[in-house]
Amino acid sequence: MKGIIFTEFLELVESKFGLDMVDDLIAACDLPSRGEYTAVGTYDHREIVDLVVELSRRTELPVPDLLQVYGEHLFGRFTVLYPQFFAGVVDGFQFLENVEGYIHVEVKKLYPSAELPTFDHERIADDRLRLVYHSSRHLEDVAEGLIRGCMKHFGSGCEITREGADSAAGGIAFIVARSPAP
Ligand code: HEM
């Protein structure tokens, strides 16, 4: 996984829990990278899982909650780092529908070693989008946080429910119900 995913995570940990926590996490996890991430490097995605599990142990906050908060934060960073993907996009659903066919395609051109999930999308009603996430990395909690961050960025609230594993294709379906801004 690209270094940006790690550097953004450690910056979030530092801002919420302090630099000592970052140092403690890196020291406690036996990371092949030794925590020396650069934005353009590529690292084993299990390192992020190890870091989050350790953070959960130390903060007593559940791993899924930490991953979701991280996903939401990451979306905010994407708005700053990749403004080109926001041009002409009018709402959160349109943005989410662009991830598979446009955004992650461009990300793959920028970073050929990126390992990206795939998404199927279906507008099931005006205010309801079904997104099915497929990835061997099982970062569905990060995906949920990214979706929530995206809807917020475009000024909407949302309720996200999971339909559970989509057994035929092995994906996880999110139903995103749009609501007025919270
Ligand atoms: C400006 C918007 C976006 C950019 C620039 C972007 C870019 C990236 C990058 C660089 C990675 C890391 C790939 C790797 O390290 O190998 C990634 C992974 C990922 N992206 Fe996106 N992404 C964007 C939007 C989204 C949105 C809206 C979602 C959710 C619907 C999403 C879901 C994910 C997930 C869950 C991963 C983790 C890898 C996995 O699950 O297999 N991304 N993305």
For residue range 44-62, what is the model confidence (pLDDT) as tens digits?
999 999 999 999 999 999 9
Please, what is the average pLDDT of the chain?
Answer: 94
Q: How many whole angstroms separate alpha carbon 82 and alpha carbon 145? A: 18
* Whether residue 149 has its Cβ less than 6 Å from ligand 1: no
Give the model's pLDDT for residue 170: 72
* Whether residue 89 has its Cβ less than 6 Å from ligand 1: no
Site to probe by mutation for ligand 1, drawn from 105, 119, 146 as the one with most ligand atoms within 8 Å of Cβ, is: 146
Give the model's pLDDT for residue 172: 93
Q: Indicate whether 162 pLDDT > 70.
A: yes
CA of 104 to the centre of ligand 1 (A): 7
Strands (DSSP E) contained in the chain are 118-125, 128-134, 157-166, 171-179
Query: How does residue 78 score in pLDDT terms, banded at 50, 70 and 90?
Result: very high
Helix (H) or strand (E) holding 110: helix 104-110
Q: How many whole angstroms separate alpha carbon 133 and alpha carbon 138? A: 9
**What percent of the chain shows pLDDT beyond 70?**
96
Q: Indicate whether 146 pLDDT > 60.
A: yes
**What percent of the chain shows pLDDT beyond 90?**
91
Which is the closest atom of ligand 1 to the Cα of 140? 35
Q: Output the pTM of the full model.
A: 0.95
- The residue whose CA has the least distance to atom 21 of ligand 1 is 104
Q: Span 113-137, mean pLDDT?
A: 95
Which is the closest atom of ligand 1 to the Cα of 96? 27
Q: Indicate whether 65 pLDDT > 80.
A: yes
Q: Span 75-102, mean pLDDT?
A: 97
Of 13-22, 74-83, 165-174, least confident by mean pLDDT is 165-174
Q: Compute how many other C-beta atoms are within 10 angstroms of the C-beta atom of residue 55.
A: 23
Give the model's pLDDT for residue 74: 97
pLDDT in tens, 90-103: 999 999 999 999 99
Residue 175: name the closest of 161, 164, 165 by CA: 161
Give the model's pLDDT for residue 166: 52
178: its two tokens: 């749009």
Site to probe by mutation for ligand 1, drawn from 38, 78, 106, 152 as the one with most ligand atoms within 8 Å of Cβ, is: 78
